[in-house]
Structure 1
């Protein structure tokens, strides 16, 4: 079975991220053991949606394409 590596949206670590329950919306929540912050990959509330500037910054910092695709909600069929 394939496991997706989740990057912390705050500190970009992958090895410290663990599942942290689900949000009321049903989306999976994650917690970073490095920076101690919690986050979701998908948000319904638009104020927490990742901005274009954040996407460009993460891409310039060399994060993998899978995370970038998730950040901008690109789905492959």
Structure 2
């Protein structure tokens, strides 16, 4: 299956809880036992995701910058 390449949004957001902050800083965002790392297109949704498990913490991903540097995922953008 082929996908038409699209320009991604400037930023995407990953919501988590503050207790995972240090490990995420060390290891980065990894899918672990899941297929993908879940990202949101807006900060409000990411905050809501983080609140499900405690005090929220949000990572802001420079998505467009990654795309411009050649880091692309044809399944999404």
Instruction: Please report the TM-score for the alignment, with normalisation by the length of structure 1.
Output: 0.26
Tell which has more relative contact order, 1 or 2 (C-alpha 8 A, sep 6+).
2
Larger CA Rg, structure 1 vs 2: 2
Which structure shows the bigger proportion of residues in helix conformation? 2
